Amino acid sequence: MKVLILSDIHANEEALDAVLTEAPPTNYDQLLILGDLVGYGASPNEVVDRVFALDPDVLIRGNHDKAASGVEEPDTFNEVAAAAALWTRETLTESNRARVAALPRGPAFSGEDIEVCHGTPFDEDVYVFDRSIAMRALSSAQRRVCFFGHTHLPVAYALRQPSTLEVIVPELGDTAPSMVPLDGELQYLINPGAVGQPRDGDPRASYGVLDTESHTVELRRVPYRIDFAQEKILAAGLPTPLARRLGVGR
């Protein structure tokens, strides 16, 4: 079985189109989406329509989905993120705003081995940036392999009980996919990176592919028309830094 894993699309239609062109969901047995369909980018309705048309097997919300749909206010967001959330709330159609507001919180499950969340299994809004939070996330996970998003950084944590934690980070700029072999004796916490706003210094869209037959996860990158996405952001009157950061992957 092959599973396509997407996270943090952030209303970037150009990045999503590039990913789905390279990895069409018809080539996969399952599609898992880990939240933050909207926020930051200038194409929220296009992305929401496209995602729901794909009918993912698992689709959960992210913190920007909550803020942009009115489930929560962006009180904890920085100024730029809050402005984008409120712009998105006004720009979404009524039906799309309702669809985003109704997205379930994580964690969610796919079969006996796969769990997905946006931040962590214990709190959908917590960021996994260090080993201590990764260990806490792994201890709260209910499946052997947990996919998460939120940080926009592709990474894999592999835990050999009770406390040996390996951290796998793709080499910056690699043209070949980064392979994460899945050892049946280890537990995994894996971030496929962000489709729509990478922050690891590589501006290419990032996504993941799980192959249950070869017992591997590939962390893949694909280039897209960043200039088109930037032009849309500026034309919409969204904060300029949102356009600038796409070009540097930060």
Q: Check residues 26 and 96 and name the one with the higher pLDDT.
A: 96
The confidence score (pLDDT) of residue 101 equals 98
**Average pLDDT rounded to a whole number, residues 168-183:** 86
The confidence score (pLDDT) of residue 120 equals 98
Q: Considering its fold, how many domains does the chain have in total?
A: 1
Summary mean pLDDT of the chain: 96
The confidence score (pLDDT) of residue 173 equals 75
Q: Which domain holds residue 30?
A: 2-248
The confidence score (pLDDT) of residue 111 equals 86
Q: pTM to 2 decimals?
A: 0.96
Residue 199 has pLDDT above 90, yes or no: yes
Structure token pair of residue 16: 């999503």
Q: Per-residue confidence at 113, pLDDT binned at 50, 70, 90?
A: very high
Q: Per-residue confidence at 73, pLDDT binned at 50, 70, 90?
A: very high
**Average pLDDT rounded to a whole number, residues 35-44:** 98
- Residue 11: exposure state from Cβ atoms within 10 A (0-12, 13-18, ≥19): buried
CATH code (residue 200)? 3.60.21.10
The confidence score (pLDDT) of residue 17 equals 98
Residue 75 has pLDDT above 80, yes or no: yes
Q: Per-residue confidence at 162, pLDDT binned at 50, 70, 90?
A: confident
Among 18, 27, 71, 65, which Cα is nearest to 246's? 18
pLDDT in tens, 201-248: 999 999 999 999 999 999 999 999 999 999 999 999 999 999 999 999
d(CA 3, CA 50): 18
Q: Per-residue confidence at 174, pLDDT binned at 50, 70, 90?
A: confident
How far, CA to CA in Å, does 138 sit from each of 13, 27, 61, 103, 226?
32, 30, 20, 24, 35
The confidence score (pLDDT) of residue 243 equals 98
d(CA 162, CA 138): 11
Q: Per-residue confidence at 163, pLDDT binned at 50, 70, 90?
A: confident
**Average pLDDT rounded to a whole number, residues 133-148:** 97
**Average pLDDT rounded to a whole number, residues 4-16:** 98
